[in-house]
Structure formats: C-alpha cells, structure tokens
Amino acid sequence: MPLELNSPSVMVLWLFPMQSALMPINKIEQQWAGRLSPARSRQFRQSRGYVRHALACLWQIPALEIPLLAPPGHPPELANGWGFISFSHCCDALLVAWAAQQIGVDLERTDRSFAAKPLASRYFSCEEQEAIAHLTGSALRTAVLEQWLIKEAAIKWQRGSLAKDLIHWRCNAKSAFAIHDALSHQVGVHRIHHSTWKMVVASDFSAMSHPPMLCLG
C-alpha cells in the first residue's frame, strides 16, 4: 500500500460540501441506500462515496477496491491493516477522517440553532453544567455545542452508543481530554474551527507529532 500505516501519528481529515456530485459506491451499499428514505439515501451515498473517494486519492487505488464496511446505523470499519475511519455530516458539509489508530470525529455549523440550556440540563454532568452556568445567549449555545461535539466524537472513537454513553463522557472547555466515567476510558480531543463549521477529533494524541490537518474537498 502506498501509504505507510505503521506510524500511529498518521492522520488525515477531509471536508467536502454536501452539494457535491455523488461518488461511486459498491453494489451492497447501493442496496442499503435503496432501503432508506430519499433524504437518508442521498446522505448515505454521499458519505460512503466520499470516504471511498478520499481514500482512493490517498492510496492511489480504485475507490471500489477500498475495503470499507459501513452499513446504515453502524460504525464504519476498514479491513484489518487499513487503519481506522470516521465521518460526520451536517446540513451542508461532510467531514471524513482516516488515521492509523482509532479515531472519532463530529461536525456542526457554528450557527446551528438549538435549545442549549435544556440540552445541557439533560445530558451534561453537574460539573459540566456548573462550568457554563454563568453563560447566556450565544456564549451558552457555543459552549454547549462544543461540549456536544466532544461527546459525539468520543463516542465514535469508543465505537459506543449515543443512547448509552452520552451521559458518561465528560470534558470541559479547556481540557485536551474527555473521560468516560463508567469505563475509565480517556481520549484526546482536538478542536478545529474552519469558516462556518466546528469540528472535534477524538484520538490518542499522545502518539501524534503534530495536530491533524484539514484538506478541503
């Protein structure tokens, strides 16, 4: 394989517009997409097609030869020896990440509108809620959004469940780590702000020689 996979510091991120033309997916993926609603089907085709496209460019092999297994509703996986993949999408962009070690990513628009206080009250720990209790308005929304991104990226790194693990992952605005208080898992988190998007990458950053770089598709 053209890319050296033995170094744990290797990590690549791509950001693609969601309105981009669809890329090829394999026959099984086409069958899965055909069972979804029109909106979910396009989202599924977009993510799997661009994972294949990104890795095909990285390794200089045909996209349909990428050994990707990513059925709807399950964490995406690559065959043994091909590293680890994670992706996330919002209304107008798709974030794809590949690394030589376990990785999880999450993406959202910075201007997303949501009920920040009720969300924090339901899913954040008492310590996390106390840390943002003095915030209001856009400052509160920004803080809650960033915490949510960290939690989702950590769950993807864990290959866990949003329903079961969301309340167990905790972090704070300044920490470079997130901790699962039930399993004692700890993972490094790296925040990226590009244009109208916020992103979080969860991985073992102690093995990295430099922060991940973002490639624009």
Domain boundaries, the chain: 11-216
Tokens describing residue 64:
């349909």
Give whole-number Cα distances, 37 to 20, 32, 43, 191, in Å.
Answer: 19, 11, 10, 32
This prediction has a pTM of: 0.92
Q: What is the pLDDT of residues 200-212, one digit of tens each?
A: 999 986 555 566 7
Q: What is the pLDDT of residues 126-154, one digit of tens each?
A: 999 999 999 999 999 999 999 999 999 99
Q: What is the pLDDT of residues 90-131, one digit of tens each?
A: 999 999 999 989 999 999 999 999 999 999 999 999 999 999
Task: For residue 53, count other CB atoms closer than 10 A to its CB.
Answer: 21
Q: Which top CATH class is 11-216?
A: alpha beta
